[in-house]
Homo-oligomer: A and B are copies of this chain.
Amino acid sequence: MTTRSDGRALDELRDVTITRGWLDHAEGSVLVSFGRTRVLVAASVTEGVPRWRKGSGLGWVTAEYAMLPRATHDRSQRESVKGKLGGRTHEISRLVGRSLRAVVDHQALGENTIMVDCDVLQADGGTRTAAITGAYVAMADAVSWLRERNLLDGEPLTDSVSAVSVGLVGGTPMLDLCYTEDSSADTDMNIVMSGDGRFIEVQGTAEQEPFDRSLLNDLLDLGEVGCSRLTEMQKQVLAEPKQ
């Protein structure tokens, strides 16, 4: 039987915690951890929408993802000091934004903008999936903030969204890879799903060998298991009163 470096079963998530209201100023905020990966998510509400959307009656949700320089084992240079965003940062920011928008009814949101900042305080694999999973909760709190102020035209959230990574490590499909697993994976896949169990994003990459259809199916199965558990946790945490 295959054992993982941290003793988890192949289809087992790491310890996941989602702490709401971690920040005092943000309309919604969450400190989310997937094992040692820790992401601080702040959802900021502003009235109005970007210029290109004005007068449409539609709201807007967008996201920015970044990493603190010492989130990683070796310190990386600040992108603000370099003066430009790296490709990875761009790519993940766009992924988080798209994932959130997939469960938003922009009509019901009205001309309001929710900007979701995901800042990785510590990275141990799966930062983008932790960010998406936490971002949904922070967005939900930001939506509540809007609702309490009667600023909505209906229910803007059509479903929840969660995300998890799966991968092929040493020939074995595994759920929710930590950094050590991720860096030795042959195939790496990020799966973003809605609360009702459908796919929002599927991004699979062969790091070494191309993968066949049967392996792809195994990985999708694992992803469905993981997202379904995360959906459950999101429901529980949102059922509690915000501190």
Contact = CB atoms under 8 A, between A and B. Distances in A.
A87 interface: yes
Which of A84, A90, A220 counts the most B-chain CB atoms under 10 A from its CB? A90
B199 A68 contact: no
A85 B80 contact: yes
A102 B24 CA distance: 34
Interface in A1-52: 23-26, 29, 36, 40, 42, 44, 46
Nearest to A119: B68
Contacts of A151: none
A83 B84 contact: yes
How many identical subunits does the complex contain? 6
Interface stretch (A53-61, A129-137, A205-213, A228-236): A205-213
A198 B212 CA distance: 5
Interface string A185-208: 000010001101111111111100
Contacts of A224: 213
A216 B202 contact: yes
B194 A200 contact: no
Interface in A80-136: 80-91, 93-94, 98, 102, 115, 117, 119, 121-122, 124
